[in-house]
């Protein structure tokens, strides 16, 4: 792993939180940063910040003039994120909005930001995934990426006995993306499952 010292420190701090399992793996963070560099991303969206590891991983890969719109509703966790973003010298790239992500994304759409972002990462409330996916599809440019986390959901997506709202929402979105001719897609068994879609130029 090529993991920045601030990312290592942030990961260690996050381990002390009661919901530490929400943290993405360092391997996934490195993959996301590499993808951002490969597509020369300048503007990104993150839906679900937690303590800020994934946002910082991608922000470090953005140019100095890059911008990330980060959406979350938890001040305690994002206060930790802000501190580490500042420590890493990336706070100027990340604009945090403490509000329901669907509202923040809707405002970007209202501001006619269609096709103005290069990359989005969705890792928040699972029942909201479909809404976030559709909103991000409007905001991401053709050739841009949308990354969807937790698409294996600990194996629950292949368990017919698992019918809770979160599992059903992920199952439905997995099936939707598989059939979605607006995108090309790949599901990777990284972490808890990561789907990568690239928006087609249609």
CATH classification of the domain holding 187: 3.40.50.150
Residue 202 has pLDDT above 80, yes or no: no
Q: For residue range 104-124, what is the model confidence (pLDDT) as tens digits?
A: 999 999 999 999 999 999 999
pLDDT-above-90 percentage for the chain: 97
Quote the pLDDT of residue 1: 85
Q: For residue range 9-48, what is the model confidence (pLDDT) as tens digits?
A: 999 999 999 899 999 999 999 999 999 999 999 999 999 9
3 touches 30 (CB < 8 A): yes
Taking CA atoms, 14 is separated from 6, 22, 106, in Å, by 12, 9, 30
Quote the pLDDT of residue 35: 98
Boundaries of domain holding 11? 5-199
Q: What is the mean pLDDT of the chain?
A: 96
Q: How many domains does the chain have?
A: 1
pTM value surpassing 0.85: yes
Quote the pLDDT of residue 18: 87
For residues 168-176, give the mean pLDDT: 97
């Amino acid at each position: 792993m090529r993991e920045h010292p601030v990312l290592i420190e942030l990961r260690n701090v996050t381990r002390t939180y009661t919901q530490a399992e929400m943290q993405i793996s360092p391997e996934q963070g490195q993959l996301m940063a590499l993808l951002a560099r490969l597509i020369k991303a300048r503007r990104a969206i993150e839906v679900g910040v937690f303590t800020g590891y994934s946002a910082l991983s991608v922000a470090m890969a953005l140019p100095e003039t890059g911008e990330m719109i980060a959406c979350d509703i938890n001040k305690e966790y994002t206060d930790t994120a802000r501190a580490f973003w500042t420590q890493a010298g990336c706070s100027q790239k990340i604009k945090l909005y403490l509000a329901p992500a669907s509202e923040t994304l809707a405002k970007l759409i209202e501001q006619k930001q269609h096709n103005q972002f290069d990359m989005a990462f969705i890792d928040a409330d699972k029942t909201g995934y479909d809404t976030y996916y559709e909103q991000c599809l409007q905001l991401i440019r053709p050739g841009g990426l949308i990354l969807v986390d937790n698409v294996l959901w600990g194996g629950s997506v292949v368990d017919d006995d698992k019918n809770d709202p979160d599992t059903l929402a992920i199952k439905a979105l997995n099936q939707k993306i598989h059939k979605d001719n607006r995108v090309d897609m790949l599901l990777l068994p990284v972490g808890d499952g990561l789907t990568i879609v690239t928006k087609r130029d249609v």
